[in-house]
Amino acid sequence: MRKRIAAAALGMAGVVGVLAAREGLQRRADAARFEAGRDYWQLAFPPDFVRWAKAHLVTYRIPSGDVGINLDVYCQPSKTAPVVVMVHGLMTYGRLFLPMVRGFHERGYTVICPDLMGNGFSGGVRGDTPVGSAAAALVDATLWARQRFDGPIFLLGISLGGAVAYAAAAAGAPVTAVSCLDLFTFDDHDALRQNTMTPQLISLLPLLRALAVPFGWVRIPTSWINSMEHVVAPAEAPLVQTWFRDPLLPRGMSLRTIVSAGYTPPAVPLEQNTIPVLVLNQAHDHVLDPAVTREAYQRLGGPKKYVEFADSPHWSFEQPFTDRIVNESDAWFKEYTAHVPAHQTALQREQR
């Protein structure tokens, strides 16, 4: 018996050693890709967009937990201008939404694009972005904005970012209204089954939750979780391949991140929400079943509005699609532009 126990212990130690060595190699490769890929985002846009970004972009780094979070900020001359904080989704980062950034900026908004930890230009291990930490980072970003700007602050969450945006608002982000392109909560296992290439993985969440205690740092290839194949219409597939080759995109997702997506309910359930929320939904979405977002909207309390894009896939690089997100969100935000909640103005006075 003792020999068997010793053999099992040695076997486990060997597995841990292999995983640790693999993780070390991955982190070195991540660092090399990061340094090589700092300017890759420029390949995704026409030269005039790149020139515009370089003329308007200022980057900041703020702490969130023990990680530095990158903020891309495009300021208006007036501190009283409305502020929109754009939240990216899976396999992307803030600077890749430049057309929407420019659209909001031309409509008079200061625009802030945080990169969640483990993504884009932010610190942290690539793909290690537990939901609770992501929501907390977004709260930190909005609090940072509240200290510096006097206008109302709005959140726009894109894809997975829609769920993170709601979670951050529920956790106390000082925002006036929210717009979500896709909405679900991170305790809805049925929604997660619709949002992964491997639905059977969700059935294993209890086991993965136990494994995440000692092995939460282990990263699983992103291709096992989701695919870019169905994100856009077939005609736009070549653009997705260019996007997917971006060296700053994570190539793996930590086990603790995967588990957190199934066990992190929002601080305020959808039914008890009081913050104004616009829900945008793509009728031809083959990444997240549109029925999931429809159901989340039905559950949602508080002031709300629902808009369905009749012919749209999960995402499109075409200007009419991104313009519609900006236009619908702008119209929603304008209903609340004159309103900065009293607790926000008090917070500003305290922090100054």
The SS3 call for residue 19 is helix
In terms of Cβ atoms closer than 10 Å to its own Cβ (0-12, 13-18, 19+), residue 328 is middle
Boundaries of every domain in the chain: 1-36, 40-351
Short-list 113, 112, 114, 116, CA closest to 124: 116
Q: Which CATH code for domain 40-351?
A: 3.40.50.1820
pTM over 0.85: yes
Task: Of 55-59, 161-165, 291-295, 346-350, give the lowest mean pLDDT range.
Answer: 346-350
Say if CB 145 and CB 127 are below 8 A apart.
no
CA distance 290 to 181: 11
Angle at 62 between CA 136 and CA 103, to 5 degrees: 85
Apex 312 CA angle, 105 and 179, nearest 5: 45
Could you tell me the two tokens for 257? 């991140």
What pLDDT digit, counting tens, does each position of 156-195 carry? 999 999 999 999 999 999 999 999 999 999 998 887 777 6
For residues 85 and 114, the answer to whether their CB atoms sit within 8 Å is: yes
Looking at 11-20, 76-85, 100-109, 336-345, which range is the least confident one? 336-345
More confident residue, 27 or 299: 299
337 pLDDT more than 50: yes
Q: Are 250 and 118 in contact (CB under 8 A)?
A: yes
Name the H helices within 57-180.
Answer: 98-106, 131-148, 160-170
